[in-house]
Structure 1
């Protein structure tokens, strides 16, 4: 498994989120090196075309970052070309450890066949393995969570006299998990719930809850587990260390409602991460988990509940609680989520434990070898689709959609390359095939993944005369770029369906025949000249001449240039063309500024005052100090006066 993962994830891309966490981890290390004087972790900024304060980073612990940093030092890759590759290897090893603990728990519940089934079920889930290749935010927490559940089971089995070894392992597992994310507090709840439950269930009739001679040793070990892990967490988390009570509570509050309002595609519509529909998680589970596992999971849960007495029910109940409670909490609390179920990845190994145990029970129930063999063939057949898809589309396993949806359809309706890892091979293709690294003149690359692109170009192609500028689909025509790398991140359904990849695309990085990153070449710069003539020169005749050439030379015009074309024609009194372009611009983007401004101008000239008011109000909400709009607004107000009707 590890070999497959290392091969698939070798030299895989990464995103600005991981760059943020890496920088944050280094800042935390600087805090300790300086004896607490360096508090730059509180005000970190990531260099981009503009600087942005990463306000939420202190709400994370850095336990993974410390381990990755140590691995970089040991391998001599710190701040070098291979820095992120080493981080990913550490992450992939942790994924294998998570699979190992998943199997170990299943073995304690039912036996080694159940363990093998659970481990393989987890490994053959493309979404899990895909994120395991590079998601250094969620996978380490997932590993810590399942490891903590395992050691909690050992602790429960040894009650009322758990060994010192088990006690220390449980303490360290809790510390590792909580020191990544405050969601690790769930594990403390399980501990405080199941220790008395197990003690109660172990007592014989007429016996006391716990013997006096066992009370103090057990209390001291519980204190070591809880107190020790909390103290270690505080000491390893600079933000919490400088004000333990206040800042730990702040981290908890942030986790309850993470302050990230992200627009994303869901069922072909645009939704927001802070206001999710109730079926967001169920839908993503239903279309991203292999169909064979969707069938096995509910059947396994039912079987395990029905056969509680055949296995130690306390262990099973703990695993079920560890799997179900996070899901219930996320639904009840309206938790901020995005990228599917990435943030709840930690529940999934526990679910695979139950699936492995339940499947093993089904095999036992079949009894006859021929029936068991037929069932085994059915299981293997159920994994053909995810296995084939992963082999054909690595390292993009994390964008997998099962047979019920299929990636080719889901591509337009749901999220896909949300971490933009396809940008790396796009840059490499561009540098090699367009010989960008060898060009004497400077080359400007526009991209909607600017932070990563600049870092990658700087570290992997240090001698190349190339620079990346961060753009969006709305403003890339404002730059005189030579190449555009446009990733699907944040691209909405209508844009993907009608305008992607853009005209001028010379190559795409694909998954299952759908482009994840498009490489666009521009030798005429007509889009820039149109924008420049309007925005900087206020020369609409010049802009119109460029626009005519541009429209004659393109099959698929930039939709975010339509509003500008509407304004050009409006100012040149070509009202029919202005309305045509303006309506198309608004259809593409309801709040298109130039399109709305052009429509306001035309409607005013055509004495459609109510329509002019509607358009100009939308514009003023975006730019209340625009001179042209303010003058137009005054003219509209004057026209609305009764004496002028």
Structure 2
């Protein structure tokens, strides 16, 4: 009875949240980035419609947008063209809201898989009271879809590397699609491939230490599957990306390097003064997070560490360690290489 009630609450809340976010998106403003990415998506559309003869999508000296896959923008523009939608930006905001809702739902389902309905419902509540995320979900067709792909990639990576002997085709296909989606948005999606193999190695070592033996036949099969997933996701991920199609490996790697040290700089207000984005102090992102993330979310995150011993004894310590790696590594990496970051922490949604 309790589980049925929790399930009812979960799906009712998710449905209400979808309706709320769609209605909110109808009055969302149009950002500068949104206009630039829409214009580029039109160029990408023209590239494919002309059979690759229209190369304007490859000529972006001022915006550097050729280095973005931005598949969600491209897909939205394709739908706009097919359905002859006139109110372009309102439809874009609708698509953004749906992507944002999908992020919340998938994260909640991840929590459900880890612990149960109580945590899943709590996850939805914490998202709902997070103004930064909800705000970006109204008109950000770049970072919000990437967040969806990132979370999906972590979820299905964990499911595959922690499975004992059985590899479900559903998990394999969904992981391929998740990583491909991430790569198709930006080259940083390759990080999910690195996570996949890292999680596999950590799981293998942990199992060996606990069981004092290793089923090498199963593990070799697992590695072969992971290699297949990686290559399938990579090539699927560049299908909508004109620049990557010109030279898949070299251009994707170049795009990653450009994104890691973005060449354009912007003036932004931080600590009471206008500063160039490439000269921000190392703590710019962490401080921005502390300022804008609701206290109830921060409190919940801190409380989690008081239950580490209980989590480890429950047998879920390995799973939570993967979550912490995927949460903190991007932040530590960006700080360590002194990336040019701007617009607060939207790239870390």
Per the normalisation by structure 2, the TM-score is 0.89
- Do the aligned residues in 2 keep the contact of 1:95 with 1:132 (CA within 8 Å)? yes
* Aligned positions of 1:493-642 closer than 5 A: none
Matching residue of 2:342: 338
Structure 2 residue 245 is matched with structure 1 residue 241: yes
Pairs aligned (count): 332
Q: Secondary structure at the match of 1:260?
A: coil
**2 CA distance for matches of 1:205 and 1:308?**
17
Instruction: After the TM superposition, list the runs of 4 or more consecutive aligned residues in structure 1 that deviate by more than 4 angstroms.
Output: none
Q: Secondary structure at the match of 1:271?
A: strand
**1 CA distance for matches of 2:23 and 2:211?**
57
Over residues 206-250 of structure 1, what are the superposed CA-to-partner deviations in whole Å (9 max), with x where a residue is unaligned? 43x3333x3554344212210101111233311011122332222
Residues 205, 267 of structure 1: alpha-carbon distance in 2 compared, 3 angstrom cutoff: closer
Residues 16, 287 of structure 1: alpha-carbon distance in 2 compared, 3 angstrom cutoff: closer
Matching residue of 1:478: none
Query: Any unmatched runs of 5+ in structure 2?
Result: 1-16
**2 CA distance for matches of 1:276 and 1:302?**
33
Matching residue of 1:229: 233
Q: Secondary structure at the match of 1:270?
A: strand
Query: Any unmatched runs of 5+ in structure 1?
Result: 45-52, 346-645
**1 CA distance for matches of 2:265 and 2:211?**
56
Residues 290, 318 of structure 1: alpha-carbon distance in 2 compared, 3 angstrom cutoff: same
Equivalent of 2:103, from 94, 98, 105?
98
**2 CA distance for matches of 1:317 and 1:215?**
21
Of the two, which has the highest radius of gyration? 1
Matching residue of 2:215: 210
**2 CA distance for matches of 1:202 and 1:217?**
16
Greater RCO, 1 or 2 (C-alpha within 8 Å, sep 6+): 2
Residues 305, 320 of structure 1: alpha-carbon distance in 2 compared, 3 angstrom cutoff: farther
Larger CA deviation: 252-261 vs 303-312: 303-312
Q: CA deviation at 1:133?
A: 0.5
Q: CA deviation at 1:19?
A: 1.7
Matching residue of 1:158: 163
Larger CA deviation: 249-258 vs 291-300: 291-300
Larger CA deviation: 100-109 vs 156-165: 156-165
Matching residue of 1:8: 24
* Aligned positions of 1:233-272 closer than 5 A: 233-272=237-276
**2 CA distance for matches of 1:300 and 1:260?**
38
Q: Which has the higher helix share?
A: 2
Over residues 581-617 of structure 1, what are the superposed CA-to-partner deviations in whole Å (9 max), with x where a residue is unaligned? xxxxxxxxxxxxxxxxxxxxxxxxxxxxxxxxxxxxx
Structure 2 residue 269 is matched with structure 1 residue 288: no
Q: Secondary structure at the match of 1:36?
A: coil
Structure 2 residue 78 is matched with structure 1 residue 70: yes
**2 CA distance for matches of 1:311 and 1:93?**
35
Q: CA deviation at 1:134?
A: 0.5
Cα RMSD after superposing both structures: 1.9
Matching residue of 1:449: none
Residues 337, 12 of structure 1: alpha-carbon distance in 2 compared, 3 angstrom cutoff: same
Q: CA deviation at 1:311?
A: 4.1
- Do the aligned residues in 2 keep the contact of 1:71 with 1:86 (CA within 8 Å)? no
Residues 55, 285 of structure 1: alpha-carbon distance in 2 compared, 3 angstrom cutoff: closer
**2 CA distance for matches of 1:241 and 1:300?**
44
**2 CA distance for matches of 1:281 and 1:193?**
25
